[in-house]
Amino acid sequence: MHNKTIKELADGLRSSEFSSVELTQYFLTRIQQHQHLNAYITVTEDLALQAAQVADERIASGNATLLTGIPIAQKDIFCTLGVKTSCGSKMLDNFIAPYNATVVEKLNHAGAVMLGKLNMDEFAMGSSNENSYYGVAKNPWNTTAVPGGSSGGSAVAVAAGLAVCATGTDTGGSIRQPAAFCGITGLKPTYGRVSRYGMIAYASSLDQGGPMTRSAEDAAIMLQAMAGFDEKDSTSVDHPVPDYSQGLNSSLVGLKIGLPTEFFGEGLSRNIATALDIAIKEYQCLGAEIINISMPTLTLAIPTYYVIASAECSSNLSRFDGVRFGYRCENPVDLADLYTRSRGEGFGREVKRRILMGTYALSAGYYDAYYLKAQKIRRLISDDFKNALSQVDVIMSPVTPTNAFGLGEKTADPVQMYLEDLYTIAINLAGLPAISIPAGLSADGEGSTPMPVGLQIIGNYFAEAKLLNIAHCYQQVTDWHRHMPNGFE
């Protein structure tokens, strides 16, 4: 049952082929069998079985949605009432959330059954899941490789069949990159499309929650439940939510696809480029027109992102001071000692690095030289996308420059790790929606394990329905999204 889609499982629940309690127990057993993947930080077995029983009653009454009774999992960045919400950090290892994030509330309202909370890079800072206080989640395609980050646990859970679908968050590629590394579908919605209330902040102008699923059809179903205006979130946009499933089989004839020359040049692995070339040819067969475009400011995205994101992280994480909640050092001698040691002991190395970078960029002598300049470049990047999307309907690109790299391979070189987000960061700076879909398998060398390749599709603001249709049409003529890692079929 772990390789079925949301729609297939919903049909099975409605026809009484199995109950939600049976389905939930099946996934709980599977999680137990594959603990070595370290996908979960917390498994909420009792709560899940209680929710499944309620879901069965709701299905029997005829008052069910497609998500009612479906076992899902939440990235451990979303506050969940009465359940530990750690954000992958020692700082919040003892934090029990007193309320639900809006995303959690919406999925609960739809009747989804939460299996637990998923592993992630500490405070969503990372591209490999190696920054988690709870240890790295392991890529089921090759357990010596990283699953990507920061939503690594979410990608692993879906790819290995430890949840039907999962939530993720994307600040600079943290849904799309792990989705590509693990061979699943990951959607980063338009900034403001999904509420950030109760989602622990990293960089407030960049963070966005979204679905991680096996297919575009499943992503449409999940986004339907997650999207919408939230008065509790000042960055939420009051924009109509369409029926994302309704237009999934619309023709692609005449679709104009832009390929940025800056994304298909130096730095892109030949294996990735070959797989994407085949995928793009498939779109041509579906009637799409390919247009080469240039977006010169994309090369400035990484330094711009790390100035802005680090600055916002420095501000957001100042609330973790050892006073109100979270980790507190033992026997502080005074207030300064409490602050210093609580933060020094509670935060990991990468979080400290980004706080320091951000504090430096915001300091009086450097604000104009770094932060203000980065904001100006951000506008230029946004204008580049605006100009490109006036010529084409969508933009396609790689998600990652290489296949999933080995555990420990880049931990000693933060700059090399940051370059992993080369093709995803600009989209967050512009606030645009983008989806990563499986587009093949490739091996780095003779005898190496074939690993998933992701194709990124970028659209205009609030064009999620169009992206989902374009992804779905490709998945109707290919089966990459149905491939599962050996041993997890």
Task: Find the catalytic residue in 128, 151, 174, 442.
Answer: 174
- How many residues in total does the chain contain? 489
**Is 174 annotated in the active site?**
yes
Q: Are strands 185-188 and 165-170 parallel, antiparallel or unpaired?
A: unpaired
Q: Are 462 and 283 in contact (CB under 8 A)?
A: no
**Is 310 annotated in the active site?**
no
Task: Find the catalytic residue in 19, 20, 75, 154.
Answer: 75
Dihedral in degrees, nearest 10, Cα atoms 172, 173, 174, 177: -150
What span, in angstroms and rounded, lies between the C-alpha atoms of 124 and 349? 13
Residue 83, helix vs strand vs coil: strand
Tokens 């629940």 -> residue: 13
**Is 150 annotated in the active site?**
yes
Tokens 């203000």 -> residue: 372
Q: Which phi and psi angles does 38 have, rounded to 5°? A: 55, 40
What span, in angstroms and rounded, lies between the C-alpha atoms of 143 and 235? 38
Dihedral (CA of 97, 103, 109, 114) sign: negative
Task: Find the catalytic residue in 86, 150, 236, 442.
Answer: 150
Dihedral (CA of 270, 275, 278, 284) sign: negative
Structure tokens at 198: 């109760």
Q: What angle do CA 142, 118, 224 make, to 5 degrees?
A: 105
Q: Are strands 40-43 and 113-118 parallel, antiparallel or unpaired?
A: antiparallel
What span, in angstroms and rounded, lies between the C-alpha atoms of 479 and 247? 20
Just list the catalytic residues. 75, 150, 174
